[in-house]
Amino acid sequence: MSAVTVCDVGPRDGLQNDAVILEPAVRAELVDRLAAAGLPRIEAVSFVNPARVPQMAGAEDVVAGIEPRADVTYAGLVLNERGYERFATTSLTEVHYAFAVSEEFNRRNAGASAEESAVAGERVAARAKADGHRVTVTLGTSFGCPFEGAVDPGRVLALAARFAELVDEVVFADTVGVGVPRQVRHLVSEGAKLGVPVGVHFHNTRSTGYANALVALEAGATVFDASIGGIGGCPFAPRATGNTATEDLVYLLHGEGVETGIDLEALIQVAAWLEERLGRPLEGQVYKAGAFAPAMAH
């Protein structure tokens, strides 16, 4: 089967909701360990207000501490133009601009209306392109909002279409882990018609993350966000638990015959290392159970 790109968001989305705050040097080491395991893309930091998300303080120090590899794309997440200005001072080459399609969530997360964030995103995309950076837009709460409930897929696809000509990639994010395969099949297959690569970002809050990933793969998604050990969640979303675990997703993809370029055994070692740093068992399953080579159909 064709190759996909797995982006590990553990250093950002994973750590941003953890009670343990890791120093920038340790976060940079996590990025380096993920890169050494073959992750082709890593969301290393977010440029947000450290008073609101103290786990993400010192983003510039994290970037400075990374030992970059030529075959790895290092990305930073921004929510507004201030965030992009900080991003632009670093060596990162890919900007992930994120906002929520639902009004109330975006106000709580970004302090702006969804439309204000969309307009700011258009400006960030233009600036980033002019600066020679790759740009991804992530549409949060694409599958549902903790405050407003169900989200109209037509609204999500309209925003995706609006950004398709401005960015390199559109990612549909299930910020609070409410999505089900039926929704994924619709959004990804329609999004794939927009002419840019489509990515997905799933949480396993209700144990649908991996089913959603498999359906997204079949529907044409080529980029998959996941978080080492399954850690993470959003500080501004009630009951939003961990992301799909990178090693669990890679086990699934490899079992389906999909190329990722990732060394699963090495990735499991990274999860074990992170477990020690955070001082608790992580949410992932494969790093506890170990890898296994399934028989391939003839």
Query: Do 96 and 77 meet the contact criterion of CB atoms below 8 Å apart?
Result: yes
Average pLDDT over residues 1-25: 93
Query: Is 241 inside any structural domain?
Result: yes
CATH, residue 279: 3.20.20.70
For 200-218, what is the mean pLDDT?
A: 97
- Is 297 contained in some domain? no
Which candidate, 151, 138, 139, places its Cα nearest to that of 178?
151
- The kind and range of the H/E element at 170 are strand 169-173
Q: In sequence order, which residues have a C-beta less than 8 Å from that of residue 265 and are 6 or more positions away?
A: 291
Q: What residues make up the domain containing 243?
A: 5-289
Is 298 part of a structural domain of the chain? no
Is 167 a member of any domain?
yes
pLDDT at residue 242, rounded to an integer: 83
Q: Which of 56, 118, 139, 234 is catalytic?
A: 234
Residue 123 domain flag: yes
Q: Does residue 102 fall inside a structural domain?
A: yes
Q: Are strands 73-78 and 5-8 parallel, antiparallel or unpaired?
A: unpaired
pLDDT at residue 170 is higher than 90: yes
The answer as to whether 295 is a domain residue is no
Look at the chain and report how many structural domains it folds into.
Answer: 1
Rounded Cα gap, residues 26 and 274, in angstroms: 10
CB atoms within 10 A of CB 3: 12
- Quote the pTM value: 0.96
Residue 45 falls within a domain, yes or no? yes
145 is catalytic: no
